[in-house]
């Protein structure tokens, strides 16, 4: 009689969730992780002092030490993609990496794909002196 009493327990234990060898999906970035922060470019080919600020109201502020600032409208397409208009061109960017110390975008441009990497700005900061 005892071996029949254990049968339901054995059957219930065997009904657990199946184990999967597939990797877990990548963590989805939340907009709050990059919005409202000053992100400085880490790309050596970018103009000195290049930065972006994605404001919560949908305004994107772009500037560098050698250019005039630009205000553009930006929006989230989904959890991993954003877009904005720059010089009448729609720029779509995929967020490829986002942590508190690193923000990476893959821009879809008319001429191809461009990778951009940023780090949080640290205050105080000023543009380096330009030759006169």
pLDDT in tens, 23-39: 544 455 566 789 999 99
In a domain, 61, yes or no: yes
More confident of the two residues 1 and 94: 94
In a domain, 18, yes or no: no
Structural domain count of the chain: 1
In a domain, 13, yes or no: no
Helix (H) or strand (E) segment spanning residue 4: helix 2-13
Domain CATH code at residue 103:
2.40.128.490
Residue 127 and residue 65 in contact, taking contact as beta carbons nearer than 8 Å: yes
Tokens of 37: 């922060």
Tokens of 98: 């986002």
- How confident is the model at residue 29, as a pLDDT? 53
Q: How far apart are CA 103 and CA 98, in angstroms?
A: 5
In a domain, 7, yes or no: no
34: containing domain? 27-120
Q: How far apart are CA 44 and CA 83, in angstroms?
A: 24
In a domain, 14, yes or no: no
Tokens of 50: 């290049």
In a domain, 41, yes or no: yes
In a domain, 62, yes or no: yes
- How confident is the model at residue 21, as a pLDDT? 55
Whether this prediction's pTM lies above 0.85 is answered by no
Q: How far apart are CA 105 and CA 41, in angstroms?
A: 11
In a domain, 42, yes or no: yes
- How confident is the model at residue 120, as a pLDDT? 97
pLDDT tens-digit map of 72-116: 999 999 989 999 999 899 999 999 999 999 999 999 998 999 999
Residue 69 and residue 82 in contact, taking contact as beta carbons nearer than 8 Å: no
């Amino acid at each position: 009689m005892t071996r029949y009493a254990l049968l339901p327990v054995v059957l219930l234990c065997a009904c657990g969730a199946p184990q999967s060898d597939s990797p877990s999906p990548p963590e989805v970035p939340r907009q709050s992780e990059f919005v409202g922060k000053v992100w400085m470019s880490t790309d050596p080919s970018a103009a000195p002092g290049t930065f972006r600020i994605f404001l919560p109201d949908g305004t994107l502020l772009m500037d560098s030490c050698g250019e005039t600032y630009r205000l553009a409208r930006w929006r989230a397409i989904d959890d991993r993609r954003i877009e904005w208009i720059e010089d009448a061109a729609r720029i779509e960017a995929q967020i490829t990496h986002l942590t508190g110390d690193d923000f990476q975008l893959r821009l879809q441009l008319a001429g191809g794909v461009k990778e951009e990497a940023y780090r949080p700005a640290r205050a105080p900061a000023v543009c380096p002196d330009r030759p006169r």
